[in-house]
Structure 1
């Protein structure tokens, strides 16, 4: 998975989340008051995170889970609290350090292995489940399918991830964002329909035995995201 488009986008994301947006993400993922727009994003992310966690086994004790693109760590923390052994990885050292600080005093902290780097790295090992909340939404469909193929080779039971659905409101927001000065922009999302992603997945040899089994969409103001679950047939 070393293609130029993926590597360039990954570096863009690292720069944004590790430098430009650190304070904004710290506040968004805390209990601090935020403006109305960010409040809708916070509520949307909370709903989506709860849904992704609900798709994991009710008792994940002993399961090895990869939180791919863990950000400030809320999903990893909750999965570990329920009994899972979690490898939580993000390309932003700043966000990972924030996540470690927030969880350090928790009794289950030893069940989270915080990492900085690329969640596609084979050095991370094998997993029962992989969860990727909003960490694939910036990539084109072909890159998403390639990433899923890489992850599927190391996943036994299921991959749970989100995409930016191709909806009219999201397409409009995506288009309007292009008019902002480059320095003020967050990394662009890449809306895609479930059907289009399925076609991309069918072209990947390593995903021939995988099927999308369910979906769930969250639409709260400026937060629009769609969860998908993929399982081996």
Structure 2
């Protein structure tokens, strides 16, 4: 048992290092362009469209309920700031982090161009496991794809411990169709894709959240040709 746990810990560390290296090297320019406005390939433009739809859905949910002014929000895995910056523009106090130093640097550049000194946005380099603090809302978009099922309960428990009012997550749904597409290389296309992509069943994620004391308030599915993402909003069950 001890040997198995040590192997799992080492495997987790190795995979995290691969993800970090990828988004600091070959993957950085690819995803910076996808999350930007530069001309990209048709596949990348389709992924950009899907990602933006997920961002827009989250913003619509949050704006529909109440003012975000003064709300403390954790954007876990912020990338280039696609969600963090508009949240700050809406008056939220945003703590945003990403495992990639280059992604965070790009987010700082974009924030400097789009925000002024009246907005509260703190950006830092951190993996999900190292996040600490208490936030009204914790959001983690397009990051859980890097975590296999055997790590999901622990990761969701950690994110849950940071959230006081709301937890918003996205993940690649595990269905027969998407599993097949992934196997034949159509689910995450592109020669520069160098990290593993894990699919998760919605029932599995919902069960974990339920055991942690959350209930699903809203859900949405974003589907484009090359981008598939299930979005869940969870609130305390009591």
Coarse TM-score class (shorter-chain normalised): 0.7 to 0.9
2:147, 2:198 within 8 Å by CA — same for their partners in 1? Answer: yes
1:214, 1:228 within 8 Å by CA — same for their partners in 2? Answer: yes
| Residues 1:40 and 2:46 are matched in the alignment | yes
Secondary structure at the counterpart of residue 168 of structure 2 = strand
Cα distance in 2 for partners of 1:192, 1:109 equals: 39
2:27, 2:193 within 8 Å by CA — same for their partners in 1? Answer: no
Secondary structure at the counterpart of residue 148 of structure 1 = helix
Q: Structure 1 length as normaliser, TM-score?
A: 0.88
Per-residue deviation, 1:52: 1.4
Unaligned runs of 5+ in 1: none
Partner of 2:201: 193
Partner of 2:77: 69
Secondary structure at the counterpart of residue 177 of structure 1 = coil
Per-residue deviation, 1:175: 1.0
Alignment of 1:1-233 (within 5 A): 3-56=9-62, 57-105=65-113, 106-107=115-116, 110-122=119-131, 124-177=132-185, 184-201=192-209, 207=212, 209-233=213-237
Q: Which runs of 4+ in 1 moved over 6 A?
A: none
Secondary structure at the counterpart of residue 67 of structure 1 = strand
Per-residue deviation, 1:144: 2.2
State how many pairs are aligned: 224
Unaligned runs of 5+ in 2: 1-7
Q: Structure 2 length as normaliser, TM-score?
A: 0.86
